[in-house]
Structure 1
Amino acid sequence: MSAAAAVDQAPEQQHSEALLEIRGLEKRFSLSGDFLEQLKFRRGRLVREQSHVHAINGVDLTIQRGEALCVVGESGCGKSTVARTVMGLLRPSGGEIHYDGERIDHLDSRALLPYRKRMQMIFQNPYASLNPRMTIQQTLEEPIRLHHADWSPQQVRDKVAEVMTDVGIAPDWGSRYGHEFSGGQRQRIAIARALAVDPEFIVADEPISALDVSIQAQVLNLLMEAQQERNLTYLFITHDLAVVEHFGTRVAVMYLGRVCEVASTATLFARPRHPYTQALMSAIPRLEDDRPQHIRLTGEVPTPVNLPTGCVFHGRCPSANERCRREIPHLIATDDGSLVACHGVEEGRLT
């Protein structure tokens, strides 16, 4: 049984307003080095050459208050870059990020401080996300002291004990160091650190992928319980579609830095519309005899350094036409409420 199978169905979420809005988000990483390294001699002339990794390219997403939006896609599609850009760990190359109606992507570290308390992140690797020189008590006290400078030492200790109990770890662990714990225990500590300042929005960047399968369900259940008890909103990054089916309210599918489909979890699993999403869904192991046959994609995955023209998926799509090769598709609403960036769906060639 997979970890997701042990997780109870996600509670019905009540959400009617956007907490986070991402508009035309772009992020490029330079491969050219500094200015002098960019200067090259070509045909006897000095020219400046620049190349970039186009990690995310015009991403539009809206996250409603109280929901869990899962972002899925293969490795290198840009989903973790989206998460880090939303949290301000990376500066976007273009586009806007709005949190609770206020634009935040252009703010400096001081202006972002009030949002740090409301937005927290759980990282993928619990072995690297905890400072090895700090005890667990110090690790959990640090964000509380930063955001509640007026609290007394006893108030801080009481809060640390409270969040440790909430995530199922003993308060007497506080005097120990991170290397003394297993991966699952470290991830619980990381979750406690995120909850210590009572946030309303959490970005979870593949928080269970580095854990044993036997521990994954426990951590997922912990995240779901915290969402129900604290009315949290999640941006959940994962590549495990079985987890998405049980955890997510809605799902955004990414390919090569672009969002190709957004739909409610039930709709996406019942009727995927984009050809890439259909290929992903067909790869999920199923026990049913009538499951759709596995879709084998042909062609090479394009490089994010030299993006293809038009739809980034057209080189592997069996339904691509000339329009797909020259024109970038944008998300359009379909009859079942999902958003799909596909010319074939827009034209009625694909259903």
Structure 2
Amino acid sequence: MKDTMTAPEPPLLELRGVEKRFALDQSLLERLRFRDGRLRMDRREVHAVNNVSLTVNRGEALCVVGETGCGKSTVARLVAGLLAPSAGEVRYAGARIDNQSRRDLAPLRRRMQMIFQNPYASLNPRMTIAQALEEPVRYHNPDLAPVDVRAKVLEVMQAVGVDPSWRDRYPHEFSGGQRQRIAIARALTVDPEFIIADEPLAALDVSIQAQVLNLMLEAKVARGLTYLFITHDLSVVQHFGTRVAVLYLGTVCELADTATLFAAPKHPYTRALLSAVPQMRDGMPDHIRLKGEIPTPITLPKGCPFETRCAYADQRCRVEKPRPQQQRDGSLVACHAVEEGRVD
């Protein structure tokens, strides 16, 4: 009898131990330091992303959350190929992509699109809406007839609620929410399977955020999209995300299904984040106020990056970096206190 078992499908996206460092000192003179009575050569770097390993499976929405400066947007740009990792690997559909040239990555651009944070800067002010939407279709489909290009753009515009009468107008004539709809339409014109959304709601009014979020959810269902969704708004995550990765100082603290994370957060930092989300019901935990110094990404702590602000930190936390440990509910938590049962 033949073995009918097939190998499991690889994740659509996989990050393996990815790191990103930015040099602060560019010239030779900037790197010279006078220390301990001697002239020394130093190399100062910002450690933006530190040993991040994540997977995104087909059809899901992985949300990456954390406070400003934690490395969320850097992760998005590493995945999109806008930045090259200092260490580690980025794989897409099982193939490594971080070491490929721009030419080799060109076919991938059609499958992977990015929606940027600022809709006022992501659209070319000198292009009409029609030109902005037709450009990627023509680039990725050079043999497509002009009438077919226009038909494709019209279909996408109607699908995302962009009025076809906007075709000959310019970006400055629209509000932020309208521009973000246009940016989403531009991403969808090439029929991608994977969308990187880097804080797509941050620059919008609260009244418009729900409309854009619902639009992205509808596109996910209708087109079978997979999302890497970068945000600092946990209330958005609760409605949009399939899984959540919590970042602190460029390091993954906790990774869990959305329902699990909101029902039973384990890492002290995750608990502090969730306690800050306004809730309209009784029985919710009081707001956790974090105290202590916030470490600088230039000189990372030797041990846990959250140690200086954690109420459960001990000597081990100061000298040893925690590794992600799988919990009974399937979540991954990088915390010595959780591992040793010191968290209430």
How does the TM-score come out when normalised to structure 2? 0.95
Question: Quick one: distance in 2 between partners of 1:252 and 1:42?
Answer: 40
**C-alpha RMSD of the superposition:** 1.5
Per-residue Cα deviation, 1:263-321 (whole angstroms, up to 9, x for no partner): 00100000000010011111111122211111111101111111111100011111111
Rounded to whole Å, the distance in 1 between the matches of 2:60 and 2:35 is 54
Structure 2: which amino acid aligns with 1:310? G
Note if 1:335 corresponds to 2:328.
Answer: yes
CA distances 1:126-167 after superposition (whole Å, capped 9, x unpaired): 000001111111111111111111111111111111111111
Is 1:292 the counterpart of 2:280 in the alignment? Answer: no
Amino acid at match of 1:68: A
Aligned mates of 1:181, 1:309 — CA distance in 2: 49
* AA at the equivalent of 2:230: I
Q: Structure 1 residue aligned with 2:12, among 6, 19, 39?
A: 19
State the match for 1:274 in structure 2: 267
Question: Are positions 1:38 and 2:31 aligned together?
Answer: yes
| 1:82-231 equivalences in 2 (<5 Å) | 82-231=75-224
Q: Equivalent residue of 1:310, what SS?
A: coil
- Partner SS, residue 84 of structure 1: helix
Using the TM superposition, give the Cα deviation of residue 182 of structure 1 relative to its aligned residue in structure 2, in angstroms: 0.6
Counterpart amino acid of residue 117 in structure 2: Q
Deviation, 1:46, is 4.7
Match of 1:7 in 2: none
**2:308 aligns to what SS in structure 1?**
coil
- Residues 157-185 of structure 1 show CA distances to partners (whole Å, capped at 9, x for unaligned) of 11111111111011221111100101010
Amino acid at match of 2:317: C
Aligned pair in 2 of structure 1 residues 42, 266: CA closer, same or farther (>3 Å)? Answer: closer
Aligned to 2:247: 254
Distance 1:58 1:164 in 2: 40
1:239 maps to what in 2? Answer: 232
| Percentage of matched positions with identical amino acids | 67
Judged with a 3 Å threshold, the aligned counterparts in structure 2 of structure 1 residues 332 and 163 are, in CA distance, closer, same or farther, namely same
Distance of 1:43 and 1:259 partners within structure 2: 36
Q: Residues 10 and 94 of structure 2 are in contact (CA less than 8 Å); yes or no, is this contact kept in structure 1?
A: no
TM-superposed CA distance for 1:34, in Å, is: 2.5
Question: What amino acid does structure 2 have at the position aligned with 1:232?
Answer: L
- Say if 1:35 and 1:111 are closer, same or farther in 2 by CA, change over 3 A: farther
Cα distance, 1:41 vs. partner?
5.2
Decide which of 59, 62, 65 is 1:69's aligned counterpart.
Answer: 62
Distance change >3 Å, CA 17–CA 225, structure 1 → 2: farther
Residue 57 of structure 1 aligns to which amino acid in structure 2? N
**Residue deviations 1:323-349, cap 9 Å, x none?**
111111111110011000011112222
Partner of 2:41: 48
